[in-house]
Structure 1
């Protein structure tokens, strides 16, 4: 924790704007030690996300104890919805569980309008994937986003 504190102090970065992503397997191994570390990180105001959720050794009972802000549904479930009932059912179950635990969800690997509609209809708050944009360098991303916000402001009368 001393190293994390030092980086935050030297950078002057607001920890409330930082979200650390941890893989599901990492969070689930050494659970007591991990829990204490995550509590220390949360005490600094940093948000925590579990990446690739659903692909590891999920111990669902631990989710209620871990100070997690967001689950990222692995793209392996998203890629075949809504066509395959099993993937759709797993995705729906993750969304329902997260909603009841008041954990935000982001779906990874959204590539089609049908996937996005399925996820939105079931209350998924966020998505990422090629449907929205291909990966790009930081400067291109800044230009891309500023153009989107300009268009939104024009449409909204701003």
Structure 2
């Protein structure tokens, strides 16, 4: 399966870099962690997965600033960045992939269905990408997992290759 190949490639890349990974998930509810741990040998790289579905969990477990949540909302570039940065720092991981968004079925906090932010922090450098997915709740969550893994692969690969921030997508 193509998706399983992506998970294996991400784990292999991080393994070669001798890097560790944590996930911080909201709308995907642990799907990224589940996909990664489906791959034999994931324990060499994967440290832990945090599911912070509500604002309180984001604040208490990931130390997302209450000011950030109040000013920008849970579904925001700023929240995704703090989730990724703090997830890596709090767990001692070299990398953290974080996702927050609205999978539907209705708009929430004025944010449309399908709006997703994916944050990726690798060795202290953070990238956040905004996506507008369409489809059912399940499809939006699946697309989020796929794009999160792709962003992690691109970010970790670019930084490992010595291209620095300018090469990060």
TM-score with structure 1 length normalisation?
0.27
TM-score with structure 2 length normalisation?
0.26
| Higher strand proportion (structure 1 or 2) | 2
Q: Which has the larger radius of gyration?
A: 1
